[in-house]
Amino acid sequence: MHNHPLPRWLAAFALAALPLAGCDAHEHEEDFPSSVGAAPAANLSPQGIHVPPPPFTDGVFPCSDCHDPEMLLPNPRRRKLEMAHQEIELKHDAEHRWCLDCHDANNRDQLHLASGELVPFEESYRLCGQCHGDKYRDWRAGVHGRRTGKWDGDKEYLLCVHCHNSHAPHFAPIAPMPAPKRPVRTP
Amino acid sequence: MTDTTVSRRDLLCTIAGCAAAASVAGCTEPTHTDFFRSHLHELEPDEVKALLADLEQEYSAKYGKEVTVGMTEARPGVSFAYALDLSRCIGCRRCVHACVKENNLSREPEVQWIRVLEMDKEKGVDLHHANAYYDAETVPRPGHFYMPVACQHCRNAPCVKSCPVGATWQEPDGIVAIDYDWCIGCRCCMASCPYGARHFNWAEPELPAEELNPKTHYLGNRPRPKGVVEKCTWCIHRTREGLYPACVEVCPVGARKFGDLNDPASEIRYVLENKRVFVLKSELNTRPRFYYFYGV
């Protein structure tokens, strides 16, 4: 099934996450293939979808700079983070989920699906699509999320994480632009 | 006392004489101020070209930068439609202000083609309780939803029917357009539009030169004179070139969708085939090309 060995605890995590995953990920795998191996123009998927680079905070990527497996052993225990990332407040089904359900413990520069398949951050939509299959379907059709480009040609997509904070995905309220002036009746 | 009554025959003769004199004087190429020019649909291609050149010259001189006035025609076989996701719109008015900039709308007096209505979730779509003047630190406000309204580009458009001079019509791709140089400012179209989508230039539109969008279309965002009616054209200068309207591109929540109804792979077809869709005031049989939907 997997083309790379998985530690047992990770396999357990993946199995535990399976019920959460919709059938969409598998359903769409074939018609939305991975662009792994493509050059940095990697942002162009085989379907011709342009995706800008993920919105990393400055200096945070590659994660392996700190999460060097030789220096820092992965700790699979669910716990309150104290050494780093304390600013992250998980409001994304926190009751059932934790960091390593999405981030891969052995390859910190990638994410993983419930199946254990590694997914680069540039394709994080495949990870989100496991649970949010209906949104994933709409997004691929160009109906969920913002589009720029041409209505009859190339369109630029955004990753889910450009609009939704993956740790607290509810769309944050924003300030409105000025209201129109009320018509004034001159005496 | 002398009789000053002018008979209809005399008047028509005088007008005909003036027209003849004008044409003899070499005014074969119409200018946009030419009172005797023919309706846009009756102009020959070289006459349209001359008309556009005349406008470009006038606007370039007035605003001190090069302004282009295009006349890209409708693409054969294309039928435009628009869809807005009411479950996503947060009422931020980014679309309103992007439209103002893109389409060279008058800053003072303020003209805005899009009006965002705030409504109570409890009441649903109820225009009697809609508020376009809401203000808040952040939106969406709890308990409210938002419904932007602009020209619905009706297939059975009351405004087109009510124009006494044929200054507004539906283009082959569905865009309801206005010839500002043919409009006489009677505002019959405004009275007949059930969506409040048409706006009148009560005063000379004020548009700072540095804010002018120099890429314009004759039927769209070219600067308007005082005394004419204007409205949303689905950014005709952009959409006829294959681009999305400005409001679609600026919407931070991606609530706005635009495309070709005749293209089975278009976003708009996906919306119509898969979402719960309605049109505003369907009971009036205006048959809008603008659809509202619930994306959730």
Residues B73-100 have pLDDT tens digits of 999 999 999 999 999 999 999 999 999 9
pLDDT of residue B36 exceeding 70, the answer is yes
Q: Do B133 and A180 touch (CB under 8 A)?
A: yes
pLDDT tens by residue, A118-134: 999 999 999 999 999 99
Nearest Cα residue in chain B from A148: B249
- Is the bond preceding B109 in cis, omega lying within 30 degrees of 0? yes
What integer pLDDT is reported at residue A5 of this predicted model?
39
Q: Is A48 on the interface with B (CB under 8 A)?
A: no
Minimal CA separation from B37 to chain A, in Å: 36
Best residue of B114, B267, B294 to probe chain A, by most A CBs closer than 10 Å: B267
Q: Which of residues 26-65 of B touch A (CB under 8 A)?
A: none
pLDDT tens by residue, A97-120: 999 999 999 999 999 999 999 999
pLDDT of residue A48 exceeding 70, the answer is no
Alpha-carbon span B131 to A119, nearest angstrom: 46
Q: Do A151 and B92 touch (CB under 8 A)?
A: no
Alpha-carbon span B250 to A180, nearest angstrom: 18
Size of interface A-B (CB pairs under 8 A): 96
Cβ partners under 8 Å of residue B148, min gap 6: B84, B89, B95, B96, B114, B115, B116, B117
Which stretch, A21-25, A153-157, B186-190, has highest mean pLDDT?
B186-190
This complex has an ipTM of 0.86
Contact B224, B55 (CB under 8 A): no
The residue whose two tokens read 């009510």 is B162
Q: Do A151 and B243 touch (CB under 8 A)?
A: yes
Q: Phi-psi region for residue A94, left (φ > 0), alpha (ψ -120 to 50) or beta?
A: alpha
pLDDT of residue A80 exceeding 50, the answer is yes
Among A141, A152, A171, beta carbon nearest to B253: A171
Handedness of CA A67, A71, A76, A81 (dihedral sign): negative
Alpha-carbon span B64 to B213, nearest angstrom: 12
Which token pair is B87? 């479950």
Whole-structure pTM value = 0.83
Residue B144, helix vs strand vs coil: strand
Cβ partners under 8 Å of residue B136, min gap 6: A176
The residue whose two tokens read 């458009």 is B157
Identify the CA nearest to B184 among candidates B39, B11, B70: B39
pLDDT tens by residue, B244-292: 999 999 999 999 999 999 999 999 999 999 999 999 999 999 999 999 9
HEC profile of B94-141: HHHHHHHHHCCCCCECCCCCCEEEEEECCCCCCHHHCECCCCCCCECC
Minimal CA separation from A146 to chain B, in Å: 4
Confidence of residue B191 (pLDDT cuts 50, 70, 90): very high
Which token pair is A51? 């995706």
Among B97, B139, B270, beta carbon nearest to A174: B139
Q: Is B271 exposed, middle or buried (0-12, 13-18, 19+ CB in 10 A)?
A: buried
Q: Which of residues 112-141 of B touch A (CB under 8 A)?
A: 112, 115, 132-140
Confidence of residue A140 (pLDDT cuts 50, 70, 90): very high
Alpha-carbon span A56 to A62, nearest angstrom: 10
